[in-house]
Amino acid sequence: IRELGLEANCKELWEEGYTVLEDVASPEFLEEMRAATKGNALHVLPDHPVFAEAALNDKLMAMAEFSVGAGFLLSHMATSIKRKGDPDLGIHCDQAWMPAPFQEHNLMLTACWALDDYTAESGATTIVPGSASLRRSPPHEEIKLSPSEPILCNAGSIALWDGRVWHGNGPRTIGGTRRVLHITYNRLFIRQMETYPRSVEDDLIEKYGEPMAQLMGRYDYLAKPAGKEDVYGFMRSIAYARR
């Protein structure tokens, strides 16, 4: 965290429930992500090498370990394109299927690569700062009353928020599009939203090595064929879960 200069981001994520990593992508990498983002799509990890590289970004991986612990998993990756007139998602929190009260520590971290500028006019993500401390999803009667504010950042930044935080997005009032790559990381004992065929995982792991193997869940003990025989995997999973 210190080596990457992320102390202030960790403090903000802990206290406010969200933070922004500025200028994470080079202009060339940003343009490559834009070209690979074809529309609103799920399960995009194998579609283009740039998506795997985005998930394995050093600063993002460090923030994910700070937020959801060692041995965290890749849960979800999707692209989205917002246009003028598209509907608002409404205020919600990403770990909404967890029963309330939520645990004091969060179970999920969402990262949105801003492929275009996040402005109020562009339909940026809106956030209710400090709402993670409520430890519950917003009830219907509070959704319209919750004071939210837009996350403002330049293209090439990553907006991060705690899975317990109430957020939504504002209406896009200008022409053009707002493109985003969404990545969600889970604590190692939480089921992933997306999984991939074993052959796809093997190809990704062969290309990107141990960090990708971790994201695919290869380094935890849970639901593995080796079962009780994998004593090292069991001990490692226990150690990860406590960090």
Q: What is the pLDDT of residue 18?
A: 95
C-alpha dihedral, 80 to 27 to 66 to 118, nearest 10°? -50
Q: What is the pLDDT of residue 238?
A: 76
pTM of the shown model? 0.91
Q: What is the pLDDT of residue 186?
A: 96
Contact of 219 with 213, CB cutoff 8 Å: yes
Contact of 160 with 21, CB cutoff 8 Å: yes
Return the structure tokens found at 133.
């401390």
Cα dihedral sign, 226-66-195-23: negative
* Residue 44 backbone phi and psi in degrees, to 5: -90, -5
Q: What is the pLDDT of residue 89?
A: 74
10-residue mean pLDDT series, the chain (243 residues): 97 95 94 96 96 98 97 96 85 89 93 95 91 90 76 96 92 92 95 94 97 92 69 78 72
* Residue 40 backbone phi and psi in degrees, to 5: -80, 110
User: Where do the H-state alpha helices sit in 114-165?
Assistant: 140-143
Helix axes 58-68, 7-16, angle to 10 degrees: 40
Q: What is the pLDDT of residue 76?
A: 95
